[in-house]
Structure 1
Amino acid sequence: MEYFILRQDQSITNPIIPLATSEAFDDDFVYSSVFAEVVEKENALYLDYLDKPERIVSNDMKELFAKYEDDLDFTAIVFTDVKKGTQRLYWLLDIVRKNCISHETTFTPDGLIKELVIDPKKVELDCIFQVDTIKESFTIVNLDVAESMLRRSLLGFQLQRVRLERR
């Protein structure tokens, strides 16, 4: 199986910007849904995948992910632009964490990952999962999910192939 790092497309210069309020994105706050204010620049784009301040997906991407993984948790979040009076439904994404980093992974001197390598034996059958390191976190999707994402008109994400550990 092939795997890909899912990232927000940084080449899009005018995305909506969620304003992280302590209540909306606090790890200790238990909630079933949240209203979060956003800032819409001129001609702002509502992306289907956001990295920051948390992993946030559009309703379309949520529906796609739910087809592949039963154990994903989603929390509704309504992005509200007070000045324009608009609201859009998005979802905070809670993904299973996997300790699957291979010993072949290379790091920069400051501890960031230079090249992520995954041990496929530790991934099992998960299609969507998260890999955490001390300084970084990666959302990983398998080839089936990546192909499904590319077949749809989803906006604002990039996929980068992940190397698998040589056996």
Structure 2
Amino acid sequence: MEYFIVRQDQSITNPIIPLKTDLDDNFVCSSVFGEVVEKENALYLDYLDKPRRIVSDDLKALLAKYEDNLDFTAIVFTDMKKGTQRVYWLMDIVKKNCISHETTYYPDGQMKELVIDPKKVELDCIFQVDSKKQSFTIVNLDVAESMLRRHFLGIQLQRVRLERR
């Protein structure tokens, strides 16, 4: 199986910018309100990395078809100046300890190249990999192909190397 890191497309220069939310790392609630700033011609991307993993309604629907154990919390992004609101979803993803010993790092501890041990992934289609300084959302090839067929905005996929056996 092949795997891909899902990232927010940094080449898009005018995405909405989440300012503040009532989130913390241990929140438990059914919905959250977040303030955003819409620059002129701002784009609502389908995937946001920050402040946490946040997806659009359409992307949520696709991901939920592939993985039963994903939890979503509604977040309502509000631009107070323009008076607009959009519903997005915070994702809570299963964390996997699947980083291979072949993974390479920079001297400051940032990951140079992520390598996954496929034996530790099992059958999950979507999961999260956490290292000391970084966290990644990973999808398998089936999910990646489905995402590419649907023309989602603001998503980049990067192939992940698998550990050699």
TM over 0.5: yes
Give the percent of matched residue pairs that are identical in Structure 1 and Structure 2: 84
Runs of 4+ in 1 over 3 A off after TM superposition: none
For structure 1, which runs of at least 5 residues remain unmatched after alignment?
Answer: none
Query: Could you tell me which residue of structure 1 aligns to residue 156 of structure 2?
Result: 158
Residue deviations 1:16-67, cap 9 Å, x none? 001123xx22123321101111000000000000001100000000000000
C-alpha separation in 1, matches of 2:140 and 2:20:
30
The structure 2 residue matched to 1:107, chosen from 102, 105, 108, is: 105
Q: CA deviation at 1:109?
A: 0.4
- Contact 1:7 / 1:51 at 8 angstroms: preserved in 2? yes
In the alignment, which residue of structure 2 is the partner of 1:16?
A: 16
Read off the aligned partner of 1:106 and give its amino acid letter. T
Distance across 2 between alignment mates of 1:136 and 1:13: 23
Describe how 1:120-131 pairs up with structure 2 within 5 A.
Answer: 120-131=118-129
Residues paired across the two proteins, number? 165
C-alpha contact 1:50 1:57 (8 A) present in aligned 2: yes
TM-score (norm 1): 0.97
| Secondary structure of the structure 2 residue equivalent to 1:19 | strand
TM-score normalised to structure 2 length: 0.98
- Name the aligned partner's letter for residue 9 of structure 2: D
DSSP 3-state at the match of 2:146: helix
Amino acid at match of 1:89: V
Q: 1:49 aligns with which of 42, 47, 50?
A: 47
Q: Residue 61 of structure 1: SS of its match in structure 2?
A: helix
